[in-house]
Structures are given as structure tokens and as C-alpha cells.
Structure 1
Amino acid sequence: MMTLFSNLYLGLSALRSQQLALSIAGNNVANVNTPGYSRQRAIMAELDPLQISEGQLGRGVRILEINAARDRFIEARLVKENQGLGQFDIMNQNLQQIEALFADSGGTGIRDALTKFFNSFSDLANNPTSIATRQQVLIAGNNVAGSIRNSYAQMVTTQSIANQGIKTTIDQINGLTDQIAKLNTQVASVEALGQDSTRFRDQRQLLVGQLGQLANISYMENDARMVTVQINGRSLVENGNATALAATLPPSGSPNFTITMNGNNITSEVTSGKLGGLLQVRDVNIPGYLQTLDTMAGALITQVNTIHSGGFDLTRAVGGSFFTPPSVGASAAQTIAVAITDPARIAAATTLPPSGPPGDNSNARALANLATARISSLGSVTFSEYYGTLVARVGGQAREAADGLKTQRQIVRQVQNLRDSVSGVSLDEEMASIIQYQKAYEASARFVSIVNALTDETIRILGSGR
């Protein structure tokens, strides 16, 4: 009887274990498309055998633990690569927009406007007394000034949007770190009770991955089963506590946010992720473009005004400034505008006849020759060549971002596939496991049924013997 009851217990342990393993496999299938889910396995172990005179008698099986398939090194690599992906992605978006400003499509760009502006002085040199031709000079001047101002303004707008994006991203980071800190507490509490924390761990790792797309973080798990998340050695999350980042306006009056943590400016310490990409665009790329455009606009104003003020207009008056000079501290590209409204005031001549309007065209010719003149303040290149270097720089950096994004996507995809091969759910494998557990359960149930029948028969025989 003792052996029969032991066999009954053995069979029941098998039923319970196979049933639980079957449930786990079913849960894997149910979560095949759940982001961040790690495949679970029921790790079975033989129960301690029963010592009998003939030797050891097996007592069945138990679930030792529910194990989540996870490789910490692969997960850390995925977080690291996602930092680069987040950076290249946001840089590509912004630089593609800026590149479109300098496309000169449809003859509406700065390069085309410069060409038409200098050509209008060539036309004026051919007909210096024509009011209609002079009007075209004013139109061309307003067009080139407007094109420069518009490009400058749109880049400033893009810079402002990136600045607001920094604040938004900081808010996202703070939201994620708060959630990670709470999950730290849940993981530690659950595991302290000896219970399974896989679900909380999966959620936490998913959030750490999302955080990695936003900034250059590092993380590690401590002995208390909590992750510490840092940015350049500064703890964003430690145990159950999160330290918030802040978007702070500097005392200088600049509209650009600085990133502070516990009152310390850590802007320069953010080097990758979406936040790092936004800082690169706002503080490096766009300021460089604005400075180049401003230098060109300043040179254009100076060169044109210098020649124009040395000539005479149709009223025999000395020519003044063609473009309004920028005020002290103002951006030339932001404020460039034609100062003349009366076409008769364009100084096309350098000499005055004894009487009547000037018919000399030498000043207009000198202004037209600026198209091919090498300007010392621009590095001894022409206006067109200098502008071409700006266009090439914008295009080159936009291509670098696009190529970097393409490469980084491939790397992330490869690491993600590696992670999925370890932690992801394979429907084929799960179906094979389900069939295996099903057959084991059926066999165990059959075994219990047989033992139960034998027990009943033994009881019947013993009962009738009395």
C-alpha cells in the first residue's frame, strides 16, 4: 500500500508539473508579439528519492523554477546601439529639413537670387538711364535679401524646434526613470518573497531600452536585484529613487535650455541618444550654418555698399548704401534689406557730365563684376563659391546622418535578432514543447489512473479478506 500511495503521489507531481509547464508554454505563445517579453521555461527537477531496502525509489518531479531566457550582455549591447540609433534618427530628420532650404529648386534659392542680382547690374550697365531696368535691380536686390533672410529665419525656427524637443525629451526621460525606479522596488519586493519577478523584469528592461534611445546611459544590476541607471557617472535611478533632469534657461538670457541635474549643468555630458542628437543640431550644426550665412550676407552688404556709395545716381547725387547696414550686434543675414526705394537713386555712374543725368555705367559694371570677384573676407573666393561651400557642408552632414542612420538601423536589427534568438518566442519551438507536455500529461494521467485502479483493487481484496 505504501508503494501504491507513493506512486500515486509520484503521478500527481507529474500531472502538476506538466500542467504548469503547459501553461507557461501557452503564455509564451500568447505573448509572441508582446514588446520586451522574454521567453519562459519551466525548469524541472527530480524530487528527492525515497530510501527503501532495495535501493532508492523515485518520488516524482517538481518545478524548480520558472526561468526567463535572457542574456544580459546582449541586452546591454542593444541599449548601447539604440543610443546611436536615437541620435542619428533625430539628426537625420533635422538636417534633411535644413538641406531642403538650400536645394535651390525652381530657381528660388539663394544661389539663383545672387546670380540674378549681379546680372541685373549687367543689364543696368547696358541701359543705365532706364527706370524699368533700375526697377529690376531693386526687385533682384529684394529677392536676394529676402532669400537670405528666409533661409536664416527657417534655420532659427528649426533650432527653436530642436530646443523645445530637448525639453520634451527631458520630460520623457524623467517619466521613464520614475517608472524604472518603481519597477526596481517591485522586483526586489517580489523576489524577497521568493516569487517570480519575470514580468516586472521584462517591463523594466523594456523601459531601460527606451531610455537608451534618448540619452547615453549605462546601467547595472546590484545585489538587491535593482538596476542603477547613470548618465556619465551620475545616477538617474538608484534603488527605488529617481533623480530628475531639468530643462533650465541660463541667466545669460539665451532661449536655449541647458540640462541640469541636482542644480549642476550637465549639457556637455549628454553625447548620444535623441537628446544628444538634438544638442548637436541646436548647438553645433545650425550655429555653424547661421554663422556662414551671416558672414556671406555681411560681405555682400559691405562690398555692394562700398561700390554703390562711390557712384552717382540719376539725380546727380552721391550714391548711399544699397543695403541697410546691420546695427551693432545684429545679424546681417537676419536683417539684410534693400535701403533704396526709388530706382533713380541707384548709383550706376562713377563720373558726372557737365549737365543732365549721368550716362556713365562704370559703377553698375563694377557692381556686376562682384559676381566673379574674390572676396578677401570670404577667404578669397567668390560669393557663389562661398555659398557653395555652405551647401556642400549642409549636404555632407545630412548624408552622414542618413548613412549613419542606415548603418545603425542594420546594427540594431542584428542585435535585436540576436536578442530574439535568445529571449524571443519561437512558435515552432513552443508548439513542439506543448505537444511534449501534452503527451507527458496524458501519460501521467494514465499512470495515476492505473495506480488508482490498483489501489482500489488492493483495498477491495483486503476488505473481503476480513
Structure 2
Amino acid sequence: MAISSLLGIAQRSLLASETALGVVGNNIANVNTPGYTRQVPDLESDPSVSTAQGVLVGTGVHVAAIRQVLDPLLERRLLGAETDRRQQGAVRDQLTALAGVLNELDEPSLGGAVNGFFDAADALARNPAGSAERETLLGRARGLADELQRRSGAVATLQRGADDAYVAAATRANDALGRIADLNRAISTAEAGGQSAGDLRDRRRAALTDLAGVLGIQTVDTKDGVTVSAANGAVLVDGGAVVHQIALREQGAGLDGHTLHEAGLADATGAFIAVPTAFASGQLAALAGVRDGELVNASSALDTFASTLVTEVNRIQTNGGAGAVDLDGGSTAAVPLFGGTDARTISVLLTGPDAGRRIGAALSSEPGDNQNALELADLRSAAQATLGNVTFTGYVAGLTGQAGQDAAQARDSAQATQALQQQLQNQRDSFSGVNLNEELTNLLRYQRAFQASAEAINVGNEVLDELMQVVR
């Protein structure tokens, strides 16, 4: 082999070792970088050449590529786990907030307001002519109406917050789609020019994770980059182009009377395409499900309670329209206690300085008559058909208990999906993350190769110098 060949081999080996050392150094530098994927140099022998004697002799080594260490199946499982984690996390947050609105541990509680109202009715039945008892009953009625209004408004606020989060999630999804398309182009350009695109691929993987949290996706690697599809198969990104963006349209009024939104896809003209199956998982599915499900049901339950309370109390106050007797002996046939039709509008109609005197505690003008007050007090233990054949207090207890149970189940589900996602992330970190012990070993290995290549160059130079001396 010619001395020049030795020098060429040593030079290429030196360059390959230098590149490998750079890759290892970059791994070490990014040991704490979130989402960084370990890179390795793929060393490849240079083509052999034939000598004059017909012997094939190697010509050295080069770095064929700088490759990321990845498990494609694990990456896909991680995206799916992120979808589940974000979905269950959103459900947990919404149902926990709802349970807080209906929480009976807070004061004043709805159950406490109901019992306080019926306690005041009991007191009035014991002293139907008492001014203090009458004023207390009115005060408790106003307190109960206020609690129903407050909780109805709070549920409506939760629904508005869920819809705002829904819109924000769709916006984040579109941002992620744009980043994925841009990075597809950047990666193709870099790799076509022979450059490593590992950092760009990590950024694209982060964008895919963001998108997967909003809606379930499917990914396929192609020569033009990663193709991203929704759960129903609709292509969202193909190469460097966003094929379908997430579109929003109004879908009717919410509990607060303002518009809610529905997500779909936008075609090339920007027209809305309704594809509910595309958003069956992820944050969009969770937020829409709670917004249109549990929150509406909770509001409806409060409305049913308020409507039944208004109907039953007014039936007794007016004696079914026949009229009970107030403190001044007047008829209450046209003097209902409550107004409104639901939890949002319920109110006490008896106002003014003589409001307490207009409560119909009696059915006659006989002194001490408390028949109507007794019937009002007995409402506490009366099962109501419109409430599912339970009492007012039982209905409130069931409503708040169910909300707490739903929130607890949501927390358990969120914890389980979080644990699975963390387990998969740990597996990825073990396989694709940076291990300092391994990198330090590689550092020494490539350093030794670099030193040996440098020594080979020195030897080649010395031999060449000796040959030059002989020639002279």
C-alpha cells in the first residue's frame, strides 16, 4: 500500500472520529434537554480498492449518517398515551370544578339553605302569628333562592370556561399543524443537503405531542416528512402542507345565553366540514363532552329542583288557588311566595315592610290556626314525583353526592392515564435518552480512535520523510 494511501486512510479516520466526538459531546450537552433524542454516528467502511497484486485493501471509514435512536412503536404509543392523558385530565379538571360548585362542605351550602327554609316553616307552624318567625321564613326563602341562583350561575360560568378552553384547544391544534408542516419542509431540505436534522425532528415530535393532546392522531413517515391524520382518517398534514385545519362554528346558545362552538375541519376554500368522529378523543372530546353533558345535566337538575320548589311552595301559599289566610285575614289566592321558573330566575315575590304578614300560615281566621304552615313544613319529608320520588333534601344530597363521585372517578382515571404515560416516557428516556455513563464510554472510545489516527498520520509522515532521504 502506498504511503499516501495510509495518510488518506488516517485522515478520513481522524475526520470520522472528530465527527463522532462532536455527536457524543452534543448528547452530553443535551442530557437535561426535555424531548432530546440521543444521536449516534453510523460509521461505514469506505469502498475497498484492488492492488496490483489483485488484493482488495480497505480505504478507511466515514460517517454515513447521524441517526437518532428511536423505537417507532414506542413513539406511536406515547402519542396515544398523551391523547388519553390530556383527555382524562380535562375531564378531571371540569368535574372537580363542578363538584366544587355543588359542594355541601362550603357555607352556605344548598342543603343547609333547604333545611334552613323548612326549619323556619316548622317555627312558623309553632307560632303562626309570630312576626319574627314570618320574617325568618322570608329571609330563609331569599337565602335559598340566592343559593340556587348562585349555583346556576356558577355552572353556566363553568360551561363558558369549558367552551373557551375548547376554542383555545382548537387554536393550539392549528398552531401545531402549521409547525409540523414547516418542520417537514425544513427536515427534507436539511437532509437533502446531507445535513443532520435531529434537532428539527425533536421539534417536530414536540409539535406532534401537542397536537395529540388536543385530538387523537395517526402518523405515517414518508419521504416528504410525516403525514398526520385525524382519528377518522382525514389527512391534516401531508409533507409540507396543511391539508385540513381545525375549523370552528357556532352551534347554539349555552347556559349563559351566549354562543357555544363546534369543531370541524376546513376544506381548501375554508368551508366548514362537520366530522364529529375526528374528535372522539383528546382535549376537544373531553371539553365538549363535559360542556354538553355533565354541566347541562347539573344545570337541568338545579332547574328541576327550583321549579318543583316554586310550584309546591306556591301551591301551599295560595292553597291551590283557593287562597290561604294571611296575618290580617286576607286571602293569599293571588299572593305566591316564589317567582321564577328555574334556578336562574327563582326569587321571593313577597317584599316590602308588610311582606311577612302576607304569608298564608292559616286556612281560617281562627286564632292559632297553623294548618297551612304545617303543610309547608311537611314538604321537607314529602317525596316529589318531579324529583324522582325523593324529598327536596334527598334530591340535593343525591345531586351533590353524584357530582363528588363523578369527580373522584375522573381523578382516578386521570391518575391511571398519567401513570401509563409516565411509564412509556420512562421507557423512551431509557431507550432514546442520554445515558452519561454510556456517553463517557463512547467519548473515550472515539478519543482513542482519534489519537490512533493522529499517530498513524505521524507514522506516515515519518516514513515519507525517510523515503525522501533515501531518494536524495
- Measured against the shorter chain, the TM-score band is over 0.9
Residues in 2 aligned to 1:438 and 1:194: alpha-carbon distance in whole angstroms = 25
Which among 321, 328, 333 is matched to residue 336 of structure 2?
321
Aligned pair count reads 453
Q: Provide, for residues 379-420 of structure 1, a one-character-per-residue CA deviation record: whole Å limited to 9, x for no partner.
A: 111111111221122111111211111111110101111111
CA contact (8 A) 1:81 1:412 kept: yes
After superposition, the Cα gap between the structure-2 partners of 1:309 and 1:235, relative to the gap in structure 1 and judged at 3 Å, is: same
How far 1:105 sits from its partner (Å)? 2.5
Residues in 2 aligned to 1:385 and 1:251: alpha-carbon distance in whole angstroms = 33
The one-letter code sitting in structure 2 at the alignment partner of 1:333 is: A
The one-letter code sitting in structure 1 at the alignment partner of 2:48 is: P
Q: How does 1:230-379 map to 2 (within 5 A)?
A: 230-242=230-242, 243-250=244-251, 255-262=259-266, 263-267=272-276, 269-310=278-319, 311-319=324-332, 320-326=335-341, 332-341=342-351, 342-353=355-366, 358-379=367-388
The one-letter code sitting in structure 1 at the alignment partner of 2:347 is: A
How far 1:225 sits from its partner (Å)? 3.0
Q: Provide, for residues 145-195 of structure 1, a one-character-per-residue CA deviation record: whole Å limited to 9, x for no partner.
A: 111110110010011011111111111111110111111122223333444
Matched residue, 1:49: 48
Residues in 1 aligned to 2:265 and 2:441: alpha-carbon distance in whole angstroms = 51
1:10 to 2:34 alignment = no
Which among 431, 434, 444 is matched to residue 435 of structure 1?
444
Which among 393, 398, 401 is matched to residue 389 of structure 1?
398
How far 1:116 sits from its partner (Å)? 0.7
After superposition, the Cα gap between the structure-2 partners of 1:359 and 1:406, relative to the gap in structure 1 and judged at 3 Å, is: same
Residues in 2 aligned to 1:218 and 1:11: alpha-carbon distance in whole angstroms = 47
Residues in 2 aligned to 1:248 and 1:94: alpha-carbon distance in whole angstroms = 22
Matched residue, 1:144: 144
Residues in 1 aligned to 2:386 and 2:252: alpha-carbon distance in whole angstroms = 34
Q: How does 1:106-255 map to 2 (within 5 A)?
A: 106-242=106-242, 243-250=244-251, 255=259
How far 1:127 sits from its partner (Å)? 0.9
Matched residue, 2:269: none
How far 1:44 sits from its partner (Å)? 0.9
Q: SS state of the match for residue 64, structure 1?
A: strand
Residues in 2 aligned to 1:315 and 1:265: alpha-carbon distance in whole angstroms = 64
Residues in 2 aligned to 1:120 and 1:433: alpha-carbon distance in whole angstroms = 82
Residues in 1 aligned to 2:262 and 2:9: alpha-carbon distance in whole angstroms = 67
Q: SS state of the match for residue 246, structure 1?
A: strand
1:24 to 2:28 alignment = no
Matched residue, 2:79: 79
The one-letter code sitting in structure 2 at the alignment partner of 1:246 is: A
Q: SS state of the match for residue 184, structure 2?
A: helix
How far 1:443 sits from its partner (Å)? 1.6
Give unmatched runs, 5+ long, in structure 1. Answer: 327-331
How far 1:103 sits from its partner (Å)? 1.9
Residues in 1 aligned to 2:65 and 2:277: alpha-carbon distance in whole angstroms = 46
Residues in 2 aligned to 1:124 and 1:204: alpha-carbon distance in whole angstroms = 71
Taking every aligned residue pair, what percent have the same amino acid on both sides? Answer: 30
How far 1:423 sits from its partner (Å)? 1.4
Matched residue, 2:91: 91
Worse overlay, 387-396 or 12-21: 387-396
Worse overlay, 184-193 or 77-86: 184-193
The one-letter code sitting in structure 2 at the alignment partner of 1:312 is: V
Q: SS state of the match for residue 343, structure 2?
A: helix
Q: SS state of the match for residue 237, structure 2?
A: strand
Q: SS state of the match for residue 44, structure 2?
A: strand
The one-letter code sitting in structure 1 at the alignment partner of 2:112 is: D
Residues in 2 aligned to 1:284 and 1:268: alpha-carbon distance in whole angstroms = 17
1:411 to 2:424 alignment = no
Q: SS state of the match for residue 249, structure 1?
A: strand
Residues in 2 aligned to 1:112 and 1:337: alpha-carbon distance in whole angstroms = 18
Residues in 2 aligned to 1:300 and 1:165: alpha-carbon distance in whole angstroms = 34
After superposition, the Cα gap between the structure-2 partners of 1:40 and 1:325, relative to the gap in structure 1 and judged at 3 Å, is: closer
The one-letter code sitting in structure 1 at the alignment partner of 2:349 is: A
Residues in 2 aligned to 1:295 and 1:436: alpha-carbon distance in whole angstroms = 76
Q: Provide, for residues 42-93 of structure 1, a one-character-per-residue CA deviation record: whole Å limited to 9, x for no partner.
A: 1112222232327332322111221111111111111111111111212222
Matched residue, 2:60: 60
How far 1:231 sits from its partner (Å)? 4.2
After superposition, the Cα gap between the structure-2 partners of 1:279 and 1:234, relative to the gap in structure 1 and judged at 3 Å, is: same
How far 1:106 sits from its partner (Å)? 4.9
Worse overlay, 146-155 or 441-450: 441-450
Worse overlay, 90-99 or 54-63: 54-63
Q: SS state of the match for residue 138, structure 1?
A: helix
The one-letter code sitting in structure 2 at the alignment partner of 1:334 is: R
CA contact (8 A) 1:222 1:228 kept: no
Worse overlay, 404-413 or 310-319: 310-319
Which among 465, 469, 472 is matched to residue 460 of structure 1?
469
After superposition, the Cα gap between the structure-2 partners of 1:269 and 1:385, relative to the gap in structure 1 and judged at 3 Å, is: farther
Q: SS state of the match for residue 42, structure 1?
A: strand
Residues in 2 aligned to 1:451 and 1:348: alpha-carbon distance in whole angstroms = 117
Q: SS state of the match for residue 333, structure 1?
A: coil
Q: Provide, for residues 10-29 of structure 1, a one-character-per-residue CA deviation record: whole Å limited to 9, x for no partner.
A: 11111111110000000111
Give unmatched runs, 5+ long, in structure 2. Answer: 267-271
Residues in 1 aligned to 2:220 and 2:330: alpha-carbon distance in whole angstroms = 78
Q: SS state of the match for residue 251, structure 2?
A: coil
Residues in 2 aligned to 1:383 and 1:269: alpha-carbon distance in whole angstroms = 42
